[in-house]
Amino acid sequence: MPINAPKSSPELNQAPSVQMSGVSMRYGEGPEVLRDVDLTLAQGEFAFLTGPSGAGKSSLLKLMYLREQASRGLISLFGQDSAQLTETSRPLVRRRIGVVLQDFDLIDHLSVFENVALPLRIHGVKRSSYASDAVEILRWVGLGERLDALPPTLSGGEKQRVAIARAVIAKPDLLIADEPTGNVDPAMGARLIRLFEEMNRIGTTVLIATHDLDLIPSGARRLEIARGELSS
């Protein structure tokens, strides 16, 4: 895997990756889907988020990667109040976050290789600098023979692995994964969890939402959400 030494920036340890205080959320004029959530994810933590379908797991993750906004409460990412982010600072914060979504969110006209390399291209990294890393990470997730394939030709499990490779390629400070093993067999699921553990080893804060309790190692921090309320 193209994952090497731990991160060394002292700034990463000065504030939690995620801090929520009294956070609630609703869609439009509907009922609250999250209520009075208090949560702190320290830099370098590895945690799992569990709960039944419809409990609010995906909504909570969307707040963390700035896809949605809270209706009330305070959300801080890397020590910055998310409500105070400007048009300039918001993209910079989002670039520090790797996300694996249930709908994959791949770009259909880009190849597997190009989808995975996209975060590095956005960062201005030259192809000569990232090409070998992109190939290596795709081999790690079992897609070394599908570099030139387009997303519409992939199975659901293959799309999921592309999304995971794209999320980790830039070594984000925070990695959020929503049911990342839902479309793969148990052996590949275990392999992907090892990839997340390796990301955590180099300093990335990792939060995985899952309904599969067998994925959660003994002693790992487990957050549970039910009817929009979070407990840990």
Q: Are residues 76 and 187 in the same domain?
A: yes
Q: Are residues 66 and 134 in the same domain?
A: no
CATH of the domain at 36: 3.40.50.300
Q: Are residues 87 and 185 in the same domain?
A: yes
In a structure prediction context, what are the per-residue pLDDT tens digits for the chain, which is 232 residues long? 556 555 544 444 579 999 999 999 999 989 999 999 999 999 999 999 999 888 999 999 999 999 999 999 999 999 999 999 999 999 999 999 999 988 899 999 999 999 999 999 988 899 988 999 999 999 999 999 999 999 999 999 999 999 999 999 999 999 999 999 888 888 888 899 999 999 999 999 999 999 888 888 888 899 999 999 998 7
Q: Are residues 33 and 87 in the same domain?
A: yes
Last residue of a domain, one of 120, 152, 171: 171
Q: Are residues 65 and 109 in the same domain?
A: no
Q: Assess if residue 75 is contained within a domain.
A: yes
Q: Assess if residue 185 is contained within a domain.
A: yes
Residue 123's domain comprises 97-171
Q: Are residues 44 and 155 in the same domain?
A: no
Specify whether the CB–CB gap between 17 and 175 falls below 8 A.
no
Q: Are residues 60 and 151 in the same domain?
A: no
Q: How many separate domains does the chain show?
A: 2
Q: Are residues 35 and 83 in the same domain?
A: yes
